Structure 1
């Protein structure tokens, strides 16, 4: 059985203004996992990740990275983790190769050229290796961010919204490379708002809301816990009948998601809409997804 490579115990963080960002987070991530850390904006994900890499000092609690306490053995802990942050942080005057070379120096690594070349090639940066960062497109800068996180060959890779605002080609290329790293034994921690992406990639998931873990488990276990199918439709004419309002799982503009148990139940929903003289379009039915679970555990405020 794999041991835990990340061990977080009863983590609290209260900022100077009194805002309590983390409310007793306890989380264990096993070595070699592809782990999804999900939650709405402001849930505490960034505070948690920043605490894991020493950028935020928790009010109380502990974090161990590969067996090293991040507060007491900071250098040793940070050698075992690489983070791809949401913000693009590149020196505008350094070339891609120079940035990765300097990044190696920050970790005290010498003769790292061979691995740097592997990273550059794997992320499609070969043609841009001598290009200053300021002349790169947003997508290329994102690739450089990933490369910087990998330069010291950390066993843990944290991807904080790595595909936000990037094109499909880069997204696919990035995941192919990350999958190879995962197959080689790297532990991957992913935060993303693309829930379908998390469902397809992650073997284990935790959902955080208002600074607390609201559910965690394997992806299959969590999906099995959602015991309902959904019907999605756009309301072209009319209003949702009062009888159905309490069953709406998600509503955005005139698009609605309603849960149902079986074919008979679905028929009753459609009959209720027909009786209320509602005209609907883009009707879709689907089995439970991670999005359904996410909405269920985060919507009650």
Structure 2
């Protein structure tokens, strides 16, 4: 199926983002159980990861524009402990150095692909304290990787927002993108959707409940799009699914239930958010929106 997708993109002159080479979630049972019972040593685990990255990137060499090399490696303030830290299976078993290794292995397998770190809740800076500001923690991590010569080319902010939260202004998001660009990094909005809580009145079709959610959703989609357009090093804007009929959100958020997260409804009709994004693109241009600055793969 992945090869078919790549071929479709080639025929239609489209660029493809590769997602994802290293993630702590959805790992095969033989791997996690082997580490747990000691039948897979730390050295063997590192070699397994290297082989995986090398095999996947080599298979698609020359066909992927941007790779999400490492995904969601940083904790959240509500995790335990609350101080931000490197989380998940790979950090626990290989230490945080696996991140630099993953980028080096990916670059060796494809010298021309752009290599990204990808995470959620990094759309804007908060306190500026890396102990509780995830964006600052990731910024410091990226700065350290660059200083060590690790071939990281960009940082992807996923853009999973919810209308029940305060969220950010266009200027806040643009400022964060600009600060990452100051490290010599490209940026991208990589998994954009905006979910809402689904009350009984929403389920019943009450327009007084539904319309404010649709308007808030459209505003948040537009904030992210405008911020990306405003920062010339923001290379791409990817929606995480396009219709509520096949969204990941209802399955992941059930207490309370959430949904309405994409730009098309369950009947494949464009929502207000779709039209706002379209307007942002139609009306973008000089002097405020300028051509993108190409990112060249770091060696």
Q: TM-score range by the shorter chain?
A: 0.3 to 0.5
Structure with a larger share of its residues in helix = 2
Higher RCO structure, 1 or 2 (CA under 8 Å, sep 6+):
1
* TM-score, L = length of structure 1: 0.32
Q: Which has the larger radius of gyration?
A: 1
